[in-house]
Amino acid sequence: MEIIQAKSAGFCFGVARAVKMAQELAETAERPRMLGSVIHNRHVTGQLEARGMRVMDAPEEARPGDWVLLRAHGAGREVYRALEERGARIVDATCPKVARVQRLVEAAEKEGRQPVMIGDPDHPEVRGIAGWCGNLLVFSGPEEAARWAKSPAAERAAGVTIVSQTTLRREVWEDSLKIIKKECTNLKIFDTICDATHTRQSEAAVLASQVDAMVVVGDPKSANTTHLTEICRRQCPRVYQIENADELPLGELSGCGKVGLTAGASTPASIIKEVKKTMSEEKIQGEGMENFEELVEQYTNTLNTGDKVTGVVTAITPTEVHVDLGCKQAGYIPVDQLSDDPSVKPEDVVKIGEEYELFVIRVNDVEGYATLSKKKIDAVKVWENIETACESKEVMEGIVTEENKGGVVVSVKGVRVFVPASQSGLPRDAAMTELVKQHVKLRITEVNRARRRVVGSIKAVQQEARAAAAAEVWANIETGKRYTGTVKSMTSYGVFVDIGGVDGMVHITDLSWSRIKHPNEVVAIGDTLEVYVISFDSEKRKISLGVKDRSTNPWQVFMDTYKVGDTASVRVVKLMTFGAFAEVVPGVDGLIHISQIADHRIEKPGDVLSEGQTVEARITAVDEEKQKISLSIRALLAPTPVPAEEAGEEA
């Protein structure tokens, strides 16, 4: 007997993401909690509890400082608010597909439209979505939808926005829509059934129609597992829904020729593997195993253009790659259909013996071959990744390839992403060419697959990183703490220095011990400075920084270097009516009285000296208590000789 496993069985993207986040939280957080089970699977929940994760039934159970995981099903706005008010730290594992539905109903209510959902009103996902608007109507199927659509309430609605539970059966959604479309106008319809759910259900239906019995693995509380069972029972008379290998009805399965195996989106791969292993060990399986694709191929007479197929590479030549498709047609991939990169070698893209999903470009039944493409499939997957990244707000990476009108273009996994100048992260007057060929991180903000238009933001990632860095600075800042910063801007009274997400102000008097008129005399924008915190105000978000080395006392440096009677090279820093101030050492000035500037009478200091000029002067007096210094240029000048005639007359 054969066991045939559906390809799409087990964790979907949203569930896998939520479980991974829960595992990481359980391993790293001091008090990890989850609000309800992260997914509908007791096995997974049990493993997390064994690692220290505890389940909360309500936000009110959270304590300040607790890390609380919001499960894949999502939660309403009030849950976020309640957790924040209690001082809990939120880890949001809401499935991106569910989060999109939350945004849709929220937007519908703001627009004055009536939000309507087709789904199970008691399901946690639906209850969470209802928490994002005040008047969500939930109908479990076409009968309830029909009653409302024909009611006066539906007639009064200014507009209707319709969404679905992500795990809803496709036929329930379509039957409900037919009725609402007949009765209501001004509709906005969003098909929010998860693609993975639809694929899983379609495969299960096909598989169930070709086997003697079906085994559906999943938690009894899982809605998508229950729906899989319902779908399979329409196609197969013997369907068994089990939670794990212990529940396998081995005796009833022993007489079956073929047994199909599928699993709900909340079922771990380990449980599926254990079920399959148990069935194999009990001799339910005969000579060989067969996967779902092979079963479908048995009932397909030929390939068609546009099909997606799976094949194994059998040979690689300089011009093409040969593929075994397991059917009557031979397959080959032209080199130009391997990758978007024309310089790549075929052996770097595919390997002999490896299996790949491919797209059928053309079928030649006369000659018995099919032309295939790998890059088309890869492009579809990339677009799916881009769309998922947009919904989940995942940070992507790419290379800036060109400057475009109003912004730049970033290549992200081969997809052109336009980044407007306002989202480039550069100052307004900066040239966009500065970014070309740079590796950047960005967030996808808009995807229009039909128009092949993708918009992104580098600035959003930079702001997030800066906000995180700023939070780190404010959490650990203290007076006297030193930072390495970058000069971001300059004024006449000082400079602003970025110390890692936060700008601090260095006043001109704290830039240097020397007396300066403008900061540009000692620093320039972009310079790296070693600064320390003079003071800070956490509430006003202000930081005062200094550059001067306060461990070095300029007066002490002067006292250790000079004494009365010494000669020093001094720099004139300020001219006054009564004399000039000159810098002896950085931070210490002395006064040259007007009577000590020259050996003859002068009207004003500017007649002889200019600011910035360096001259030789003698230290004539030092007042240690008041830290004042007297200087004299005249003391170093030779006496003016008296003419002989004048000397004789005087005699």
Closest by CA position to 18, among listed 86, 87, 94, 85: 94
Quote the CA–CA distance of 399 and 569 in Å, as a whole number: 56
Quote the CA–CA distance of 94 and 398 in Å, as a whole number: 26
Q: Is the dihedral of CA 28, 33, 35, 37 positive or negative?
A: positive
Closest by CA position to 88, among listed 68, 106, 105: 68
C-alpha separations of 306 from 219, 320, 341, 370, 376 in Å = 37, 20, 23, 11, 10
Long-range contacts of 487-495 (CB under 8 A, 24+ apart): 487/523, 487/524, 487/525, 487/526, 487/527, 487/528, 487/529, 488/525, 489/525, 490/519, 490/520, 490/523, 490/525, 491/519, 492/518, 492/519, 494/519, 495/519, 495/523
Quote the CA–CA distance of 614 and 139 in Å, as a whole number: 89
Quote the CA–CA distance of 20 and 39 in Å, as a whole number: 11
Collapsed DSSP state (helix, strand, coil) of residue 93: coil
Residue 537, phi then psi, degrees to nearest 5: -130, 105
For residue 563, the 8-state DSSP code is -
Quote the CA–CA distance of 209 and 216 in Å, as a whole number: 14
Pairing between β-strand 2-5 and β-strand 258-263 as defined by DSSP bridges? parallel
* Cβ neighbour number for residue 92 with a 10 Å cutoff: 14
Residue 54, phi then psi, degrees to nearest 5: -115, 145
Quote the CA–CA distance of 152 and 379 in Å, as a whole number: 48
Quote the CA–CA distance of 53 and 295 in Å, as a whole number: 42
Quote the CA–CA distance of 294 and 310 in Å, as a whole number: 9
Displacement of CA 620 from its chain's centroid (Å): 67
**Distance between first and last Cα of the chain:** 143
The token duo for 344 is: 């790549």
Closest by CA position to 309, among listed 321, 327, 284, 322: 327
Pairing between β-strand 407-412 and β-strand 415-420 as defined by DSSP bridges? antiparallel
**Computed over its alpha carbons, how large is the radius of gyration of the chain?**
39
Active-site residue set: 125
H-helix or E-strand spanning residue 396:
strand 395-404
Quote the CA–CA distance of 480 and 482 in Å, as a whole number: 6
Quote the CA–CA distance of 374 and 357 in Å, as a whole number: 7
The residues pairing with 117 across neighbouring beta strands, listed in sequence order, are 138, 163
The sheet with strand 239-242 has its strands ordered as: 239-242, 213-217, 258-263, 2-5, 290-291
Quote the CA–CA distance of 574 and 156 in Å, as a whole number: 82
The token duo for 190 is: 């969003």
